[in-house]
Structure 1
Amino acid sequence: MEEIIDLREYFTIIKKKWFIIAVITLVCIGIASVYSFFIAKPVYQADTTLIVKTEKAQGAETISNDQVNASQKLAITYGEIIKSRTVLDEVIKNLRLKMSYYDLLDGISVSTVTDTQIIKVSITSTDKNIAAAIANEIPKVFAEEAMRITDANGVEVIDNAKVPTTPIKPNKKLNIAMAGVLGIMIGIGTVFLMAFMDNKIRVPQDVDIDLGLPLLGVVPEEL
């Protein structure tokens, strides 16, 4: 029974101070909206996919499983070569980019598709044209460097990168939704903190609840 009474008290506190929760929530949503629409720079992503070629053994008409497995493992190695200083510095030089090796490295994501010889290279940048240019330049530089270093199978481009039209960040709807939830949580916390700090006796029942003393009588207000 006590739990039900306490729960009702919580709802009563929220009901009385709902405007505080609403104001804090609106402020958080407003801040998130201003940041998402006017402050945060849009980030674009351009993708290109490569495939490691599997060459037939001399005299063989088909490709064996061992050759396919070797190409799949080689794709992992190639993924690391793509991120090497040798490749990226050459990309920076060819495109005349005003950035360092580490700046470019931070914007690159290289992954291999499970159980395939396919490599996916993703480039993120605040400039959509630069993102596409880098994504298309990397395979050109990498193909020559991979052959020089490994003296193994070459690579071919499956899909060239296109200039992205829609930014991947900031996610405006998600930011605003998260700000709304955060605002509600902060608002409720603020309301409960205010109620906890308020030690005034407002109704006769507060004497028993707050002080633990029996209520002997009530003096009525003068009419």
Structure 2
Amino acid sequence: MYSKFDYEDVLNEEVIDLSELFRSIFKNIKLIIVLCILFGVGGFFGTKLLIAPTYTASTSIYLTPQISESGSLDYNSQMANSKLVTNAVNLLTQNNIMSEVAKDVGLESASTVKNFVSVTNESDTEIITISATTTDPKLSKDIANDTVSTFIRTMQKNLNVRNIEVVDKAKLSYVPSGPNVKKNTLLAIMVGFVLGCGYAVMKFLLDNRLRTKEEAEKYLGIPVFCEIPEL
């Protein structure tokens, strides 16, 4: 247990340590800035020159609710359609669908196609979006469109589901969707900042010199009678 005076001394030591720590970081601010600039430039040009651009093509399908014989949309039909949407999101990337797409677009396996495809369902809707991202804009378009057409054909043949409509077909686009140059540059700058601050902190923690009269008295426990000025 600390006494009242001991506890106050500990607090004072922590405040002094923190102030010295921030002072040490400030002393190395030039190094930190240089590291941020170097890492930022490296992140920018590394992203531009070393990472191949990717292109994304997207298409959407809509699962129309089944209308009852009376011509109205009842609760059971709505629930059944919602379940169908959930199942469709999972079925779109099944191996049988992906294998057919791989054959159509000239890829080697279903797993390769699956790595390129992402399927999302907009909340509270029956709209499903299928996106394909590759380094070839034409391949991205072909994968997205062929995934939808293969899925619709399979659902009609095997499950007799005929309420799937294509809302918007994937289009050819030569505008890259990635990589994110700004994001990578900012991340690189953050790495440079962390490394610079880490160097300053380690330098401070490993520095055991007594730099002032007060530090010498506190560490040695004896008074200092004289000091030689720094010339």
For normalisation by structure 2, the TM-score amounts to: 0.84
For residues 23 and 66 of structure 2, what CA distance do their matches in structure 1 show? 75
Q: Which amino acid aligns with 2:226?
A: V
Q: How does 1:61-210 map to 2 (within 5 A)?
A: 61-97=71-107, 99-209=108-218
For residues 203 and 188 of structure 1, what CA distance do their matches in structure 2 show? 24
Classify the secondary structure of the residue corresponding to 2:59.
strand
Q: What's the % identity of the aligned pairs?
A: 25
Moved beyond 6 Å, runs of 4+:
none
- Counterpart in 1 of 2:60? 49
The runs of 5 or more residues in structure 2 that have no matched partner are 1-10
**Deviation larger for 194-203 or 71-80:** 194-203
For residues 26 and 223 of structure 2, what CA distance do their matches in structure 1 show? 27
- Counterpart in 2 of 1:19? 30
- How far off its partner does 1:193 sit? 0.5
Judge conservation of contact 2:117–2:144 (CA < 8 Å) in 1. no
- RMSD of aligned alpha carbons: 2.3
**Deviation larger for 166-175 or 139-148:** 166-175
For residues 116 and 55 of structure 1, what CA distance do their matches in structure 2 show? 15
Judge conservation of contact 1:44–1:125 (CA < 8 Å) in 2. yes
Return closer, same or farther for 1:40/1:215 CA change in 2, 3 Å cut-off.
farther
For normalisation by structure 1, the TM-score amounts to: 0.87
For residues 90 and 67 of structure 1, what CA distance do their matches in structure 2 show? 31
- How far off its partner does 1:168 sit? 2.9
- How far off its partner does 1:143 sit? 0.9
How many residues are paired up?
220
For residues 8 and 81 of structure 1, what CA distance do their matches in structure 2 show? 60
